[in-house]
Amino acid sequence: MAEQRSFSNLGAYDDLDRIILYAAEIIANQSPYDTGTLRFNAIKVEWVDVEHTEFRIYIDESAIARIAGGFNYAKWLNESPDSPHRGWWDRACLDAVNYLRRVLG
């Protein structure tokens, strides 16, 4: 089994933070494992406001580009017809949204 990514080190502010961090783990743990830097360094969670009511989960492409020689590796993983991982981001985000919908109602 592939090693899992945990966001527990970010120190949740409240219950909503824990839910959001778990949604990020859902996405990260569906990322292509053979691209370790993507799973463990490039998937980020960012709170947009100080009240922690708006957030974003994204791929920090600069964290991947350093390893992959500067081309858009994250885009290739998701969109290239040559990529064995095509569409993983869309599927992972849908799973995270479904999780959020179940938990938050």
Question: pTM for the whole thing?
Answer: 0.76
* Structural domain for 19, as ranges: 13-104
What are 13-61's pLDDT values in tens digits? 678 888 899 999 999 999 887 766 788 888 899 988 877 778 899 988 7
Give the contacts of 29 (CB within 8 A, at least 6 positions apart).
Answer: 2, 4, 5, 39
Looking up tokens 């009511």, which residue turns up?
A: 53
- How many independent structural domains does the chain possess? 1
Residue 7 lies in a domain: no
Q: Are 8 and 21 in contact (CB under 8 A)?
A: yes
Collapse the DSSP code of 2 into the 3-class scheme (helix H, G, I; strand E, B; otherwise coil) and give the result. coil
Report yes or no on 5 lying in a domain: no
pLDDT at 39: 83
Structure-model confidence comparison of residues 85 and 72, the more confident one? 85
